[in-house]
Amino acid sequence: MDISRYLNQKAVYWAPATADKYGNTAYAAAVELDVRWEECSEEVFDSEGQKIMAKHHLWTGVVVEEGGLVWKGTLAAWGSTPTPTPVTEDVSRIAKYQCTGNRKATQFVREAWA
């Protein structure tokens, strides 16, 4: 169940931090993740029960949060541009996150849909 050898692509991830005084989400600094990124067209339900059409299915070795932002590419390629707001066509918001462990809960498959 160790999927680390399949995580041969890169993504930039911004975790949701807090809401500003206007109710807009503020994001933490960008980090680069090893991922498996697949284009898809899947209907998923977010944590609030809303049906969303996901365009991307990601596998990662780390926990990501629903509401975070992802962009396919390296941090160096993204450059020093600040957090993307509003979400553009290239940057997607994570709609669903799921973590599944093996029977002994020693290894995990972490998936996200954006």
Range 102-107 contact pairs with CB under 8 angstroms and sequence separation of 24 or more: 102/1, 107/1, 107/2
* Bridge partners (DSSP) listed for residue 51: 45
pLDDT digits (tens, 9 = 90+) for 43-52: 999 888 899 9
Q: Give the predicted TM-score (pTM) of the model.
A: 0.87
CA distance 101 to 1: 9
pLDDT of residue 17 exceeding 90, the answer is: no
pLDDT of residue 56 exceeding 80, the answer is: yes
Amino acid identity of residue 85, one-letter, is T
Distances (CA, A) of 42 to 22, 55, 68: 32, 7, 19
